[in-house]
Amino acid sequence: MLLIILAVAILSLILSTIGFSSYFTTRDKRIIFVATAFGVFFLKNFLVVISLLYDIFPHGDLEFVEALFDLVTLIFLIVPVIKKDW
């Protein structure tokens, strides 16, 4: 399970990097929100991997932190959909 979470974190980092690169090419502000969402998703999964390896957070606290990161990710994904006039 740990390897899968680590793979998801690495893929999220790659997608975030591609997103920021795309933003600098197109200057489309919506892309920066999606790239940031992938960055937050990377941070969440990286934190989970570190927490599972070193037992930083108790299980209940880790679930709460994961939920907060998921909420922030969703906010970054929904903003470009709601805000149409950039």
**Domain boundaries along the sequence of the chain:** 2-82
Mean pLDDT on 72-81:
96
pLDDT exceeds cutoff 70 at 86:
no
Tens digit of each residue's pLDDT (9 = 90 or more) over 11-29: 999 999 999 999 999 999 9
Question: Token pair of 25, please?
Answer: 């090419």
Q: How confident is the model at residue 77 (pLDDT cuts 50, 70, 90)?
A: very high
pTM of the model: 0.90
Residue (of 18, 24, 65) closest to 37 by Cα position: 18
Amino acid occupying residue 83? K
